[in-house]
Amino acid sequence: MKRLRLLLSASFGPHALAALLYGVIAFPLALLGCFLTVAGLAFGGLLSVTTLGLWLVAGTVRGASALGAVQRGLARRLLGVEIGEPVPPRGSGVLGWRRAVLGERAGWRAVASALLTPFTAVLPYIAVFVGYVYGVLFTLHPLLGSLDSLEFFGRQADTGPYTLIPFLLGLLLLAVAPRLLRHALTPHRALLTALLGPSAADRRIRTLEETRAQAVEDAVATLRRIERDLHDGTQARLVGVAMHLTMIRELIGSGADASRLLTVVDTAQTNATQAITDLRALVKGIHPPVLDEGLPAALTTLAADSALPVTLTTDVPARPTPAVESIAYFCAAELLANAAKHSGASAVTVDVDTHDGLLRLRVTDDGRGGAVVGAGSGLTGLLARVRTVDGTLTCVSPPGGPTVVTVGLPL
């Protein structure tokens, strides 16, 4: 009984039913879209000598794009397949819109998808029919007698022990139906992803636009931080030094005693020393001077200043560019700070090496885990920073730990 429940859960669970529904819907939808696309292109081609033909072709291309949007939505909701949206056509005015629709590759890729999806959508449709329809019919045969004409070894399936054969065959079909449907959907998913998602060039352009915007925002934020630190910290202390120097001059001119004069001198000296400290911290936040000695030396200093015990291993034969060194340093500093503040870790391991033209920084802590990129953590900012040089950032952090963050930067 328990095995039967497991079979029913695997074959008729939420994910299996969602895939089943998609397999039933996808083929009729693909057939309808293919028929309308072929008809639109055919009539548009026949009328291409007139203006109406161009409008009909443009409308067909736009309709194929709308069909692609529906297919992307179904794949996302029922299969959990995320397919990015292509760049929409841009054109000013009616004629500009038509020119953009006819000239954009995304629209014609949607047309190709509309023409080809019936050939891939038929596979899950057949899998549903074989796995589920026949599986249910065979399983219910002893009750319904719906397959009286079915014979096994020359005997009717409703006589004697032969009634168990369709029942067992039905259970077998229901057991393999989810896997059969999943494999049948593979070509269809691949076709939708290849033709309905953004092209490699579009993805590259979108990434460059995002990284450029992030770089501009980081630069503006850095300038504001520097201005705020100078105004609220260093500038105020230097103003205090100037005021105390003026007081010292007045005290000397008035013949004040030495103890009072020394008190003002000590205060001015304290302010000057603190201003120098603030300036050093500000410069270190822009570009740590220790990076001039190379990334291994900078990471050694960073590990020594960490609140957690850090085991550092570096193997960098050739020195990277200053930009890559700076990004790697700040990524290591942010990850060590996150581990000390949020992970509950007792120790951290930092490994730096080069492989296949990449500088690879791996930070591992033995904390509680659960870190996720994009969940409002500092990892999102680090990802945006490394993407400015076409770098990558991955985070593996299962509940209970350990957390492993790997940054790859091109040399």
Cα gap 372→394, rounded to integer Å: 10
Position 252 scores a pLDDT of: 76
Position 245 scores a pLDDT of: 76
Cα gap 213→204, rounded to integer Å: 14
Sign, CA dihedral 277-278-279-280, equals positive
Give φ, ψ of 199 to 5 degrees: -70, 170
If one compares 318 and 157, the residue with the highest pLDDT of the two is 318
Cα gap 363→218, rounded to integer Å: 23
Average pLDDT, whole number, for the chain? Answer: 77
Look at the block and give the residue holding tokens 């990449």.
Answer: 358
Residue pair 60/108 in contact by the 8 Å Cβ criterion: no
Look at the block and give the residue holding tokens 């802590």.
Answer: 365
Cα gap 232→282, rounded to integer Å: 12
Cα gap 388→81, rounded to integer Å: 27
Among 25-34, 51-60, 85-94, 371-380, which range has the highest average pLDDT?
25-34
Cα gap 197→65, rounded to integer Å: 11
Position 356 scores a pLDDT of: 80
- What single string gives the DSSP state of each residue in 284-331? HHHS-GGGGG-HHHHHHHHHHH-SS-EEEEEE-SS---HHHHHHHHHH
Worst-scoring range by mean pLDDT, 56-60, 84-88, 147-151, 221-225?
A: 147-151
Position 127 scores a pLDDT of: 86
If one compares 396 and 234, the residue with the highest pLDDT of the two is 396
Other CB atoms within 10 A of residue 6 CB: 11
Residue 411: helix, strand or coil by DSSP?
coil
Per the confidence metrics, is the pTM higher than 0.85? no
Residue 355 bridge partners (DSSP): 358
Tens digits of per-residue pLDDT, 332-359?
A: 888 888 888 877 778 888 888 888 888 8
Q: What is the DSSP letter of 261?
A: H
**In what helix (H) or strand (E) does residue 99 lie, and over which residues does it extend?**
helix 93-103
Position 313 scores a pLDDT of: 85
Give φ, ψ of 95 to 5 degrees: -65, -35
Mean pLDDT value of segment 292-299: 81
Position 221 scores a pLDDT of: 67
- Is 60 exceeded by the pLDDT of residue 139? yes
Q: How is domain 290-410 classified at the architecture level of CATH?
A: 2-Layer Sandwich (3.30)
Tens digits of per-residue pLDDT, 192-225?
A: 888 887 766 666 666 666 666 666 666 666 667 6
Mean pLDDT value of segment 83-97: 69
